[in-house]
Amino acid sequence: MIIKSEFTIDITASDFISGDIYRANNISELKPIILIIHGFKVHKQWGFFPYICDYFAQYGAIAICCNLSLNGYGSDSDTLIYPHKFASNTITRELSDIKKIMDFILNKGEGTIEDWDGRIFILGHSRGGALSILTARDFPIISKVAVWNSIARFDRFSARQKALWREQGYITAEHYKSPDSLCINSTYLDDLELHHERFSVISALSNMDISLLIIHGEQDITVSKKDAEALASASKHLFGFNIIPSTGHTFGIRHPFSSSTNALQQVLEITRGFFLS
């Protein structure tokens, strides 16, 4: 049986990280941690995230998935209820949030993860893949990184988009559950340009001695296969580069989750073999 426990990390009086810890209660030995990082416009309860946490826990890992503090969601809500937080998010803030999660883990979750064996692996989907790579750069304790349909760079905007962004002070993004577009403040763009070198995923990979697994959907129209190829070329220790045929950015999964797909099961088996064998 899989047990899920919850935790909260306060950032400010109104901002917080909410997280879920999954583990099998019939496995008594110490376990590695798999930290799972979500991407843009989603949350820890979206689609496949609870399912994959449950999956890894069944195979003897402690799976941890969190809402980053400015993703706009509440602790257990799948409705974006804080659009002003979403608008003010930056890559600096997301990396800072993940650092706080790592600090929480290294402190054994303030007594909530005493069954941890000292190993930490990290898995990121989409933008979460790039965040995972930069986190592994900053935390050498992370020995393995898996990325699913990951971007290879954060600056994915044309000169025309940036000019409009500056002029308006924001750009808009469509959201799968909202009839209205969401705003992203120009502070996001400021952050990208100010920290361009620090945020270079390719540069980070080329200087990291870490085992990397890349998985990408052949029909992903959200993130090009070229991003996966760029990551593979930059990696010094590429464990595997897997293109999953006939599937896209979320491996056929939508929200709310109803059932798994053949593509997702294939991805999970490859990733489990990387992390837990």
Q: Which residue type does 231 have?
A: L
Residue closest to 36 by CA, chosen among 27, 47, 25: 47
Question: Does residue 14 lie within any of the structural domains?
Answer: yes
Three-class secondary structure of residue 138 per DSSP: helix
- What are φ and ψ of residue 185, in 5° steps? -65, 160
**What would the pLDDT profile of 11-59 be if each residue is shown by its tens digit?**
999 999 999 999 999 888 999 999 999 999 999 999 999 999 999 999 9
Question: Does residue 173 lie within any of the structural domains?
Answer: no
Return the biggest CA–CA distance within the chain: 58
Tell me, what's the pLDDT at 76?
81
CATH of the domain at 97: 3.40.50.1820
Rounded to the nearest 10 degrees, the angle between the axes of helix 159-168 and helix 187-194 is 130
Tell me, what's the pLDDT at 174?
84
Residue 219 predicted with pLDDT over 90: yes
235 within 8 A of 211, measured Cβ to Cβ: no
Domain extent, residue 265, equals: 2-155+196-276
- Residue 226, judged by CB atoms within 10 A of its CB (0-12, 13-18, 19+), counts as exposed
- Residue 163, judged by CB atoms within 10 A of its CB (0-12, 13-18, 19+), counts as exposed
87 within 8 A of 180, measured Cβ to Cβ: no
Q: Which residue type does 22 have?
A: Y
Q: Which residue type does 225 have?
A: K
Please give the helix or strand (H or E) that residue 191 lies within, else none. Answer: helix 187-194
Question: Does residue 183 lie within any of the structural domains?
Answer: no
**What would the pLDDT profile of 80-135 be if each residue is shown by its tens digit?**
999 999 999 999 999 999 999 999 999 999 889 999 999 999 999 999 999 999 99
Question: Does residue 182 lie within any of the structural domains?
Answer: no
Q: Which residues pair with 31 in a beta bridge?
A: 116
Question: Does residue 6 lie within any of the structural domains?
Answer: yes
Q: Are strands 211-217 and 170-175 parallel, antiparallel or unpaired?
A: unpaired
Half-sphere exposure of 67 (CA within 13 A, CB side): 31
**What would the pLDDT profile of 123-181 be if each residue is shown by its tens digit?**
999 999 999 999 999 999 999 999 999 999 999 999 999 999 999 999 999 876 665 68
Question: Does residue 172 lie within any of the structural domains?
Answer: no
Tell me, what's the pLDDT at 110?
87
Residue closest to 227 by CA, chosen among 152, 147, 124: 152
7 within 8 A of 109, measured Cβ to Cβ: yes
Three-class secondary structure of residue 169 per DSSP: coil
- Residue 114, judged by CB atoms within 10 A of its CB (0-12, 13-18, 19+), counts as exposed
Domain count, the chain: 1
Question: Does residue 168 lie within any of the structural domains?
Answer: no
Tokens, residue 88 = 């003010």
Start-to-end CA span in the chain (Å): 21
CA 208 – CA 217 distance, rounded (Å)? 25
Question: Does residue 139 lie within any of the structural domains?
Answer: yes
**What would the pLDDT profile of 224-275 be if each residue is shown by its tens digit?**
999 999 999 999 999 999 999 999 999 999 999 999 999 999 999 999 999 9
